[in-house]
Structure 1
C-alpha cells in the first residue's frame, strides 16, 4: 500500500517525522530521481527514495512562474508538476498563487496584486492554468467556465491499449465510491454529471497508450477517475485504479497527466485565445522510454464519411 513520503523518509533514514517533513519541503528528497516537495505525496514502499541533507533549498529560478499569455485581465501560466495552485490549510508558502502575485509586483510593478482562481489542476498535474489579474474580470471568466465555453485539452499516458480509437465517457462522479475514494456511480440519478472525450494518439505494445483528452465538464479528478473506470489507469496515479493491479514496468513518480491546451473567446475583448504548453521533460522522457522498450504505433486518423446522395 502507498504511504506518505514524509513517513517513509522518517522510517527509512531514521529521522523524526517533523525533520522528515522539513527535509521534503526543503527539496532534499528525490523520488525515482525527481525532486518531490510534497510531504504528503503517496509513494510505494519499495520506491527509490534518496535524501541529501546538504542540498540547498530550491533557488529563486525554480520558483519563477512561466507565463504563456497575459493581458490586463488574465495570466495563463505553465504550472510545473508538484506545485499547488493555492495553499491548503497547512499554509504552504510556495504556490502558484504566490508566484503569480510576486510576478505582478516585480514584472508589472503592481503594488497590491490581485490573483483570482477560476479553475484548478491537481498538484501533480503539469500544464496550463488561467489566473484572473483584474477583479472586474473575475465574474466574466467564472461565467465562461460555468458555461463550458473553454476548450481544455490534456495529454495522458495510461495503462493498456484501447479497443476503439476514440470515445466519450458519461459516468457521474461521487465523493465516496465505497473505498474511501472518489469514483463513478452506475446508479441512475446518483452523482455529479461528468463527460470526458478521449482520442488515442499512439500505443506502446500492449503496455500503455498516449491519449488526448478533452473535458466537457471539470469535476475534481475527473480524468483520473474516468480513465480508471475504463481500466486504463493514468500511469503513476497512486490513488485510482485497481488496488492489486500489476506494477507498471516503468517507475513514474506522479500521475502522467499534462494540461496541454486552453482555448476560449475572451469575454471582455472578444479575442480568440488559444495557449499550448509542451509536455515537461519527465512526461516526454516517459514517452521516449516506452517507445524504446515497446515501440510506438500511431493511431489511424478518424475519417469522416459523407452520406451518399440519392
Structure 2
C-alpha cells in the first residue's frame, strides 16, 4: 500500500472512459466505495478540479490519486512464471502483431480459457506477451477447444473494448472451413435455427429450439465434394451462439467430420481419416482502434490439411482466400521504372514535334484578358 499521492496522465487508450471505469482498468485493487468517497471529499482530482465517478476522462488529463485505498481482497495476483516450453508454444502461435492486437493460430485441443478441470489454455499463456511497462493482453473472443484457427488477443484494455464492440455489433467477418459428412442437397444458403442449452447436459451441449432458443444464423457454401462421402464447406456465422456451426451442420444432417458430440458415430469417416474435429477459423477481417484494419488468415492444422489432400480438395478454390496481388516493388525498382517511363515519354514527344513542325502562335481575344478567344457555340 502506497503512502504517497500519485499522479497519472490519461492515455489515448483511456480517452472517453468514465472515472470509475478508469480505476477498474488501471487500479483494480481500489473499490468503488473508496472512489466515491474520494470524489465526494475532493481527494481525487482531474487537472486540479473536483470530479464525479461517472465523469468521463480525456487523453492528456492528469489524475490525482490519494494514498492508500487498496482493498486486501483485491490485491493483484502475482504473475505466474511461464516455463520456457510454454513461452515457446505461445510465440509459435503468433500469426501477426500490431500496436493494438496479437493474432494467434490456436491449435486444436488447446482450450481458450481455463475451467474447473482445465489448467492448460491460451489465456494462461498470454503472460508470454506481458511486460512490466505494458498491460497484460486480453482475449476478445473464444474458439471451442477442438476448433483451430484465428484467435484475436487485444494488447490493451481500450483495444479490447474496441474489438469487442466490433464482434458484438457483427461488423467483424469470420470465415470458417469445415469438412462435413455427406453433401448438402442445397449447395449454398443460410441455416436459420434458434439454439438453446440442451436440458440434462449441464449446459455443455446445445440443441435447436425454435420456441425458447436464441436466434442463430449461419451462411454456408459447399466449395467441393468427394463423391457423396464428404464435402468441404465454407461457413460464415452471422450470430455468435455457443457451438453454433457444429449444431447447425448436424441439424441439416451433415455433421462436421470428427464431431462426435453432435454427430455421434456418423461423424467419423472410415479409413485413415483423422478422428479429430475438422473445423477451422480460416480468416478474420475486423476494424480496430483508429481505423486499423486486420485481415488475417490461419494455416490449417496438420490433420485437417492431410484430410484435404486425401480427399483431393484444393485450398485455392475457396472464396475466403486473400487476393494475391502483384509482389510489392522496392523503392529502387519504383524509381528505375519511373525514370524509364519518363525517358520513353520524352522520346515519343520528340518524334511527335518533328512530324508536326513549329507550332503556330495562338491569337488572344480582347475580352478574355489574355485567354484564347471563344469559338462558335455548337454541339461537341
Q: Is the structural similarity TM-score above 0.5? A: yes
User: Are 1:80 and 2:97 matched, yes or no?
Assistant: no
Partner of 1:289: 310
TM-score when scaled to structure 1?
0.68
Q: Is the 8 A contact 2:196 2:207 kept in 1?
A: yes
Would you tell me which structure has more strand in proportion to its own residues? 1
Partner of 1:259: 281
Which protein has greater RCO, CA pairs closer than 8 Å, 6+ apart?
A: 1
Q: Is the 8 A contact 2:112 2:122 kept in 1?
A: yes
Partner of 2:300, secondary structure, is coil
CA apart distance, 1:212: 0.5
Partner of 1:202, secondary structure, is strand
* Rounded Cα–Cα distance in structure 1 between residues aligned with 2:295 and 2:279: 19
Sort the Cα spacing of 1:232 and 1:75 in 2 relative to 1 into closer, same or farther, 3 A: same
Of the three residues 189, 204, 210, the one matched with 1:186 is: 210
Partner of 1:162, secondary structure, is coil
Of the three residues 88, 97, 103, the one matched with 2:123 is: 97
User: Are 1:138 and 2:165 matched, yes or no?
Assistant: no
CA RMSD of the aligned region, Å?
A: 2.7
Partner of 2:237: 215
Q: Which moves more between the two structures, 175-184 or 144-153?
A: 175-184
Q: Is the 8 A contact 2:105 2:299 kept in 1?
A: no
**CA distances 1:147-170 after superposition (whole Å, capped 9, x unpaired):** 001000000000001212211011
Sort the Cα spacing of 1:272 and 1:205 in 2 relative to 1 into closer, same or farther, 3 A: same
TM-score when scaled to structure 2?
0.56
Runs of 4+ aligned structure 1 residues displaced above 4 Å come to 57-63, 109-113, 177-180, 298-301
Of the three residues 251, 254, 257, the one matched with 1:235 is: 257
CA apart distance, 1:177: 6.0
* Rounded Cα–Cα distance in structure 2 between residues aligned with 1:186 and 1:87: 31
* Rounded Cα–Cα distance in structure 2 between residues aligned with 1:299 and 1:150: 23
CA apart distance, 1:112: 5.9
What residue ranges of structure 2 are gaps of 5+ in the alignment? 1-82, 320-380
Partner of 1:130, secondary structure, is strand
Q: Is the 8 A contact 1:263 1:273 kept in 2?
A: yes
Q: Is the 8 A contact 2:195 2:210 kept in 1?
A: no
Q: Is the 8 A contact 2:139 2:153 kept in 1?
A: yes
Partner of 1:71: 98
* Rounded Cα–Cα distance in structure 1 between residues aligned with 2:261 and 2:187: 26
- Matched residues, number: 232
CA apart distance, 1:245: 3.5
Partner of 1:269, secondary structure, is helix
Q: Is the 8 A contact 2:96 2:102 kept in 1?
A: yes
Partner of 2:105, secondary structure, is strand
Would you tell me which structure has more helix in proportion to its own residues? 2
Partner of 1:274: 295
Sort the Cα spacing of 1:192 and 1:64 in 2 relative to 1 into closer, same or farther, 3 A: same
